[in-house]
Amino acid sequence: MTYSVPDRIHHELLNWTAWCWLGPWPHPLPPTRCGSAEGDYRAPPEYDMELAGAPQPLRIRPNAPNAEKVQAVWKRLPEKPRLALKAEYPERHHSRTQAARKLRMGLYEYEYHLRYAVERVAKEFGNALRA
């Protein structure tokens, strides 16, 4: 059975993720040409508009004080829990199995470190989690 992050902490971690990704839209900027030998990449029309100075879409601003609390916890974490939390939230591009493999951990180890990190974040917000 896979570890499930409690909703109240999950929302704080999503807020932290949004805070981590603050910056110009689109973030990160899409490539303007193909990286292949053919070199025939065409940017999608919506990106052409953005690059031409079209207005940015409205974004919900993250709660910075709460995000900074999570960031402070993240900085204090040992290396493996820090890597697991980073892979699960701000850099989430893969399934947990793929993220664990990329970090050279087993899935059980990855989830153990993720749980450890989530428990530290929960303590910061006064929400001690039961085992």
Q: What is the mean pLDDT of the chain?
A: 79
Q: pLDDT value at position 43?
A: 46
Q: Which percentage of the chain shows pLDDT scores above 90? A: 50
Segment 32-52 shows an average pLDDT of 49
Q: Which percentage of the chain shows pLDDT scores above 70? A: 67
Confidence of residue 91 (pLDDT cuts 50, 70, 90): confident
Query: Which residue spans within the chain are E strands per DSSP?
Result: none
pTM: 0.70
Topology of 1-22+63-131 in CATH?
Answer: Arc Repressor Mutant, subunit A (1.10.10)
Ranges of each domain in the chain? 1-22+63-131, 24-61
